[in-house]
C-alpha cells in the first residue's frame, strides 16, 4: 500500500510539472504574439496664407464732452453724436452698421495749490462702431464724422466680409507646405513618405489686417481723411503625421513575396 501511495504521488508531481511547463510555453508564445512593432511615422507642421483686397472697414470713433454741469455734458454729447450719425447716413452708411459700443460718464475733482476747490468737471464719452461697406468712401466717412463733432478715433481695421474662400485657400497652402516639408525630410533621411495617419488644424482663420489702434484726438473741417487699406490676409497652420516606409535592403523581400523552391 505504501509503495502504491508513493507511485501515485510521483505521478501527480510529474503531471503538475507538465501542466506548469505547458502554461509557461503558452505564456511565452502569447507574449511574443502580443508584441506589435509601433508604426514608423513623421510629423510636420505646415503654414499657409491667402490674401485679398479688403471690401469692408470697421471704424471705432466717439464724442467726448466736458462741462461743470452734468446735464449739459450729457446733452451736448447726445446732440453732437446725433450730428455725427446724420453725417454718416448722409454718406449712405446704413443705420444697421452703426452701433453704440460704450457710453461712460465720470467726475473729475478740481484741485488748486491748497487742495480740492469743491468744483467738479463731468466727462461724458460715447463710442460707436461704424462698418463701411464701400471702402472707397472711408476717407469721406472719417472727414464727415470729424467735421460733425467726433473728437476721437480708437481704431480703423480693414477686412473681408466673406472669409471662407480665403480660409480654404490658406488651408490648401498649409497642407502643401506640410507635404513639401515631409518629402524634404524623408529624402534627406532616405525613407519614403506614406499615407497620412493623423491630420489636425492647429490654428486657422486668423486675419492679419491693416489696423490703426492709437486713440487720437482729432479736429477736421469735414474734408476727406487719407487712409490706406493695404491687404487683408488669413493664415492657417496644420499638423500632419505621415507613415514612413524604410528602403528594402539586399536580401529582403516585400510582404507577400515568397521564394520559389
Q: What is the largest CA-CA distance in the chain?
A: 128
How far apart (Å, rounded) are the C-alpha atoms in residues 27 and 83? 88
What was the pLDDT predicted at 210?
45
Q: Burial level of 135, CB count in 10 A (0-12/13-18/19+)? A: middle
What was the pLDDT predicted at 96?
95
| 251 φ/ψ angles, rounded to the nearest 5 degrees | 95, -15
Residue 96: C-alpha distances to residues 91, 111, 117, 133, 139 (Å): 14, 44, 45, 12, 20
How far apart (Å, rounded) are the C-alpha atoms in residues 88 and 144? 7
User: What's the predicted TM-score (pTM) here?
Assistant: 0.63
pLDDT under 70: residue ranges of the chain: 1-34, 204-228, 248-261
Amino acid at each position: 500500500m505504501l509503495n502504491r501511495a508513493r507511485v501515485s504521488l510521483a505521478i501527480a508531481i510529474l503531471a503538475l510539472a507538465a501542466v506548469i511547463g505547458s502554461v509557461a510555453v503558452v505564456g511565452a508564445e502569447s507574449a511574443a504574439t502580443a508584441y506589435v512593432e509601433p508604426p514608423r511615422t513623421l510629423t510636420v507642421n505646415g503654414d499657409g496664407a491667402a490674401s485679398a483686397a479688403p471690401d469692408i472697414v470697421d471704424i471705432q470713433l466717439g464724442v467726448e464732452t466736458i462741462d461743470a454741469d452734468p446735464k449739459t455734458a450729457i446733452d451736448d454729447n447726445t446732440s453732437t453724436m446725433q450730428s455725427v450719425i446724420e453725417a454718416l447716413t448722409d454718406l449712405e452708411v446704413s443705420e444697421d452698421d452703426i452701433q453704440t459700443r460704450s457710453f461712460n460718464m465720470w467726475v473729475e475733482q478740481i484741485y488748486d495749490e491748497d487742495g480740492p476747490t469743491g468744483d467738479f468737471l463731468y466727462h461724458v464719452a460715447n463710442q460707436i462702431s461704424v462698418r463701411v461697406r464701400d471702402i472707397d468712401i472711408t476717407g469721406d466717412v472719417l472727414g464727415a464724422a470729424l467735421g460733425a463733432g467726433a473728437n476721437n478715433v480708437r481704431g480703423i481695421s480693414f477686412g473681408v466680409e466673406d472669409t471662407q474662400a480665403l480660409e480654404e485657400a490658406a488651408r490648401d497652402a498649409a497642407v502643401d507646405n506640410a507635404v513639401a516639408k515631409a518629402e524634404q525630410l524623408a529624402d534627406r533621411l532616405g525613407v519614403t513618405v506614406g499615407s497620412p495617419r493623423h491630420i489636425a488644424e492647429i490654428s486657422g482663420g486668423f486675419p492679419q489686417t491693416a489696423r490703426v489702434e492709437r486713440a487720437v484726438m482729432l479736429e477736421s473741417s469735414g474734408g476727406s481723411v487719407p487712409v490706406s487699406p493695404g491687404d487683408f490676409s488669413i493664415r492657417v497652420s496644420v499638423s500632419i503625421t505621415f507613415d514612413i516606409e524604410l528602403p528594402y535592403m539586399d536580401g529582403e523581400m516585400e510582404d507577400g513575396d515568397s521564394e520559389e523552391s
